Amino acid sequence: MRTKKRILVIYTGGTIGMVNTAQGYAPRKEAFHTLLDSLPELHADAMPLWDIVDMEPLLDSSNITVVEWNRIGALIAEHHAAYDGFVILHGTDTMAYTASALSFMLRNNNKPVILTGSQIPLCEIRNDARDNIVTALLIAACDDVHEVCLYFGGRLLRGNRTIKYSADDLIAFESPNYPALAEAGISIRYNRAALLPPCQGSFSIQPMQNTPIGVIKVFPGIQFELFDSIMTERLRGIVIETFGAGNIPGHANALLPIIRRASDNGTIIVVCSQCPHGTVLLGAYETSSALKDAGAVSGYDITTEAAVAKLYYLFSRGLSGDSIRSRMERNLRGEITV
Ligand code: ASP
pLDDT number for residue 284? 78
Q: Best mutation site among 62, 90, 92, 133 for ligand 1, i.e. most ligand atoms within 8 A of its Cβ?
A: 92
Q: How sure is the predictor about 1, in pLDDT bands with cuts at 50, 70 and 90?
A: low
Is the Cα dihedral 144, 187, 194, 279 positive or negative? negative
- CATH number for the domain formed by residue range(s) 6-205: 3.40.50.1170
Whole-angstrom CA distances from 39 to 35, 43, 67, 133, 274 are 7, 7, 32, 11, 42
pLDDT number for residue 252? 54
Asked if residues 239 and 215 have their Cβ atoms less than 8 Å apart, the reply is: yes
| Ligand 1: centre distance to CA 15 (Å) | 5
Can you name the CATH fold of 213-328?
Rossmann fold (3.40.50)
Cα–Cα distance measured from residue 86 to residue 108, given in angstroms and rounded to the nearest whole number: 15
Is the pLDDT reported for residue 2 higher than 70? Answer: no
Is the pLDDT reported for residue 166 higher than 80? Answer: yes
Q: Please write down the long-range contacts of 122-125, taking CB distance under 8 Å and 24 or more positions apart.
A: 122/16, 122/17, 122/32, 122/35, 122/36, 123/18, 123/19, 123/20, 123/31, 123/35
| Ligand 1: centre distance to CA 91 (Å) | 4
Average the pLDDT over 202-213 and give the result: 97
Q: What is the number of the ligand 1 atom nearest to the C-alpha of 94?
A: 4
Residues carrying an active site annotation = 15
Looking at the chain, which residues constitute the CATH 3.40.50.40 domain(s)? Answer: 213-328
Query: Which residue has better confidence, 255 or 314?
Result: 314
The answer, yes or no, to whether any atom of ligand 1 lies below 6 A from the CB of 24, is no
The answer, yes or no, to whether any atom of ligand 1 lies below 6 A from the CB of 263, is no
Q: How sure is the predictor about 291, in pLDDT bands with cuts at 50, 70 and 90?
A: confident
The answer, yes or no, to whether any atom of ligand 1 lies below 6 A from the CB of 68, is no
Asked if residues 245 and 278 have their Cβ atoms less than 8 Å apart, the reply is: yes
Is the pLDDT reported for residue 286 higher than 80? Answer: no
pLDDT number for residue 36? 97
| Ligand 1: centre distance to CA 92 (Å) | 5
The answer, yes or no, to whether any atom of ligand 1 lies below 6 A from the CB of 12, is no
Is the pLDDT reported for residue 155 higher than 90? Answer: yes
- Ligand 1, atom 7: closest residue by C-alpha: 91
Q: Best mutation site among 11, 28, 59, 62 for ligand 1, i.e. most ligand atoms within 8 A of its Cβ?
A: 62
Average the pLDDT over 299-314 and give the result: 98
- Ligand 1, atom 8: closest residue by C-alpha: 92
Q: How sure is the predictor about 251, in pLDDT bands with cuts at 50, 70 and 90?
A: low
The answer, yes or no, to whether any atom of ligand 1 lies below 6 A from the CB of 98, is no
pLDDT number for residue 199? 92
Average the pLDDT over 282-310 and give the result: 90
| Ligand 1: centre distance to CA 285 (Å) | 39
Looking at the chain, which residues constitute the CATH 3.40.50.1170 domain(s)? Answer: 6-205
